[in-house]
Amino acid sequence: MNTTTKPEWGVHAPNPIQNFAIKQSNKNPKSLFGTSCRKLLLNGFNDPLDVEFWGVRFRLYPGDNLCEKRALLSRVNFDVQERQILLERLHEDFRFIDVGANVGLYSLFVAANAGKQARVLAIEPQPIIKQRLKFNLAVNPNCNITHVDCAVADKKGMAKMSISTSNRGASGFSLRSGDKPDEIFEVQTFSLVEILSTHDMLGADAMKIDIEGAEDQVLPVFFETTNKADLPKLLIIERNPDWNVDCIELAKSCGYKQVLQAHMNIVLELV
């Protein structure tokens, strides 16, 4: 079930055994007991679960998306340093860009903590994932988030995206695993500067970009065509060793300094 409106949030609330497994997994994510709880919960389980954390309602599908599984079962370790940096910089008019928003974890975290006047742009084109995102946005009406249904590339056009049904969050223009895609769909693309100009998000306070290795197709053109004053003040980016262009070094050459190296992400700040 991937509809944005039915059934209503709460219908898929965890039962007592699932609640126990979720709590213990989050309490002891690296322990043998925590691992056993995760296996207990996920073994043969493909249905969604309606949960609330970070002051946000979510419907999560942990069976086919690593991002959703992490948020449900090990959120004590879910980008803790990155989220803390964002919290330290939030203000009531905060503007945040979420490129590759997935089901909205970053977008909803920022919007819920910054307040109603904050504006968030959630860019996500995957057919099933964007339906999950739209549902999560719909059940959190106090969060001011705009969903942009397109992919980000170096220019406006059409492109083919590859889907991995075992981990939908790893889908992109090509699968980083090198495996044959389970599905392929065509998507509208725009350059990042086009999207930000359209939605009045140039010079935003922060941007998270996680587009499964395609950052080196997007960021060089963005930095080349965007004035420094129009760049996001904070940049959170997942490092990829397979880039043809090192986007971290490129950002530094454009005026950013590195302020954090987390497990997967690099955080840079414009100086």
- What's the pLDDT tens digit per position in 99-139? 999 999 999 999 999 999 999 999 999 999 999 999 999 99
How confident is the model at residue 117, as a pLDDT? Answer: 94
Question: Same domain for 170 and 238?
Answer: yes
As a whole number, mean pLDDT of residues 252-263 equals 96
Domain containing 139: what range? 79-270
Question: Same domain for 56 and 89?
Answer: no
pTM, entire model:
0.93
- Determine the Cα angle at 95 with ends 89 and 100, to 5°: 105
As a whole number, mean pLDDT of residues 262-266 equals 92
Cβ-proximal residues to 192 (8 Å cutoff; 6+ apart), any chain = 99, 152, 218, 219, 221, 222
d(CA 164, CA 177): 10
The verdict on residue 135 lying in a domain is yes
The verdict on residue 7 lying in a domain is no
Question: Same domain for 233 and 253?
Answer: yes
Question: Same domain for 41 and 100?
Answer: no
Domains in the chain, number = 2
Which of 72, 89, 118 is a domain's end point? 72
How confident is the model at residue 194, as a pLDDT? Answer: 97
As a whole number, mean pLDDT of residues 160-166 equals 86
Question: Same domain for 223 and 266?
Answer: yes
Mean pLDDT value across the chain: 91
d(CA 232, CA 268): 10
Condensed to tens digits (0 to 9), the pLDDT of residues 8-62 reads 999 999 999 889 989 988 888 778 888 888 887 887 677 899 999 999 999 999 9
Residue 233 pLDDT exceeds 80: yes
How confident is the model at residue 2, as a pLDDT? Answer: 44
- pLDDT band (50, 70, 90) for residue 144: very high
Question: Same domain for 55 and 169?
Answer: no
Higher-pLDDT residue of 209, 47: 209
Question: Same domain for 63 and 89?
Answer: no
Question: Same domain for 184 and 152?
Answer: yes
Question: Same domain for 141 and 103?
Answer: yes
Question: Same domain for 91 and 66?
Answer: no
The answer to whether 269 touches 259, Cβ cutoff 8 Å, is yes
